[in-house]
Chain A
Amino acid sequence: MTCNEFRDRLDASGSPSKGLSRTDLLAHLRDCAACRQRVEADEQLARQLRMLRDSAPAFPASLDASILQAFRAHVDKESSNIISLRQKPRQLPRLAWPAAMAALLLLGAIVFLGGRKATRSAPAAGNVRATSVTAPKPARPQAEVHSPNKVVAIKVAQHHPRRKGSVPHIEAPAAETVAVTLPPDFRSLVYCDELSCSGPMDVIRMNLPASALGVSSPLRTNNVVAADVVVGADGVARAIRIVY
Chain B
Amino acid sequence: MKVVYVNPEMLSEPMQSAAGKSDEELFALVISGDEDAFLTLYERLKTGIFRYSYYMTGSKCAAEEVTQEVFLTLLQNRARFDQKQGELGAFVFGIARNLVRRIDRRERPFEPLPDDAEVLARLVGSTSESSDQVDQDQLVANVRAAVASLPEHYRQVVVLCDLCEMSYAEAASRLGCAVGTVRSRLNRGHKLLAQKLKLDGVKQTVFRNTGTEGCLI
Contact = CB atoms under 8 A, between A and B. Distances in A.
A189 to B, nearest CB: 81
B102 interface: no
A114 B136 CA distance: 101
Contact of B68 (A48, A61, A67): A67
Which of A44, A46, A49, A75: most chain B CB closer than 10 A? Answer: A49
A55 B71 contact: no
Interface in B35-67: 35, 38-39, 42, 46-47, 50-51, 54-55, 60, 64, 67
Given A59-B46, A67-B42, A52 B11 contact: no
A64 B11 contact: yes
Nearest to A43: B199
Contacts of A53: 162-163, 165
Given A37-B201, A45-B199, A75-B33, A56 B118 contact: no
Interface string B103-143: 00000000000001010000000000000000010011001
Contact of B139 (A51, A59, A63, A67): A51
Given A52-B163, A57-B118, A65 B54 contact: no
**How would you classify the secondary structure of chain B's contact residues: helix, strand, loop or mixed?**
helix
Interface stretch (B19-27, B81-89, B186-194): B186-194
B187 A48 contact: no
Contacts of A78: 33
Contacts of B168: 14
Interface string A22-48: 000000000000000110011011101
Interface residues of B, number: 49
B203 interface: no
Nearest to B49: A59
Given A45-B194, A71-B35, A57 B140 contact: no
Contact of A71 (B50, B54, B64, B71): B71
- Size bracket, chain A contacts: 20 to 34
Contacts of B13: none
Interface string B153-175: 00000100011010010000000
Which of B11, B140, B183, B193: most chain A CB closer than 10 A? Answer: B140
B206 interface: no
Contacts of B208: none
A67 B74 CA distance: 12
A34 to B, nearest CB: 10
Contacts of B4: 65-66, 68-69, 72
A70 interface: yes
Contact of A64 (B6, B60, B76, B136): B6
A65 B194 contact: no
Contacts of A52: 55, 140, 143-144, 147, 163
A66 B68 contact: yes
Given A64-B6, A65-B5, 12 more contacts: A11-B183, A14-B168, A42-B190, A45-B199, A48-B140, A53-B162, A53-B165, A63-B67, A64-B11, A70-B71, A71-B38, A78-B33
- Give me the 10 closest cross-chain CB pairs, A-B, nearest first: A41-B199, A69-B4, A75-B33, A49-B162, A52-B143, A48-B143, A55-B140, A53-B163, A74-B75, A64-B6
Interface of A: 11, 14, 37-38, 41-42, 44-46, 48-49, 51-53, 55-57, 59-61, 63-72, 74-75, 78-79
